[in-house]
Amino acid sequence: MTGKNSHPDQDARMDQLHRYKLETVHGVKQDVVFNSYPEWITVQENLSTDDYVKKIVGWHHDRNLIDGSTDKDQFAKLIQEAGELSDNICKGEDVSDDIGDMIVVLLNIAERNKLSLADCLSKAWDDIKDRKGRMVDGIFIKETDL
Ligand SMILES: [Mg+2]
C-alpha cells in the first residue's frame, strides 16, 4: 500500500512496479499490477534451450531485426560480439554473456535463412562426428589437412 503513512522509498518502489510489463514467448506485452510490494518474490525461469531459442527468435521479430536487417549487418554484429568474447578470454573474465550474445546473433541469421538451430547443429555434427585428426598446439587439425 502507498499513501501518506507509507515510506517515500516504498512509494518509489511501488511506482516502479506499476509500470512493470511482462512479455510472453510470442512477444505479447502485458501490464502486471501489484497491489503490494512483493518483498519475497523470486522470478525463476527454468527454461529449456528450445524455450530460449523461441524467446530470442520472437525478440528478433518484435524488433524488426529479421525483415529490417540483413545477414551482412548481423555478420558485422557477430564479429563485434566475437571481439568481446576475445577480450574476455584474454582478460580471463567470464565469457557466458559473450557466448550467449554470439548465439543470439547467429539465431538472427538462421531465422532470416529459414533455418532452425537444430538444422545447423545437425549439419555441423554430421560434418565432425567421424572426423579424424590430431591436436597441434591446442588446435584440432583435420586428417585431410595434415
Ligand atoms: Mg556482447
Range of the structural domain that residue 8 is part of:
1-34
How far is the centre of ligand 1, averaged over its atoms, from the C-alpha of 78 (Å)? 9
Query: pLDDT tens digits, residue range 76-96?
Result: 999 999 999 999 999 999 999
* Ligand 1 center–CA 96 separation, angstroms: 10
Residues 17 and 74 in one domain: no
Does residue 86 share a domain with residue 27? no
Residue 46: predicted pLDDT: 80
Contacts 24+ apart (CB under 8 A), 10-14: 10/37, 13/37
Alpha carbon of 40 to ligand 1 centroid (Å): 31
Q: Which domain CATH number covers 140?
A: 1.10.287
Instruction: Record the cell numbers describing residue 49, joined without a space.
Output: 534451450
Q: What is the pTM of this model?
A: 0.68
Residues forming beta bridges with residue 140, ordered by sequence position: 135
Is the pLDDT reported for residue 69 higher than 60? yes
**Residue 50 placed within a domain:** no
Q: Are residues 84 and 134 in the same domain?
A: yes
DSSP state of 144: G
Cβ–Cβ under 8 Å, residues 21 and 29: yes
What separation in Å is there between the alpha carbon of 70 and the centre of ligand 1?
Answer: 19
Q: What is the 106 CA–ligand 1 centroid distance (Å)?
A: 13
In a shared domain, residues 13 and 76:
no
As for how many domains the chain has, the answer is 2
Between the CA of 54 and the centroid of ligand 1 the distance, in Å, is: 20
Q: Of 47, 52, 46, which Cα lies nearest the Cα of 100? A: 52
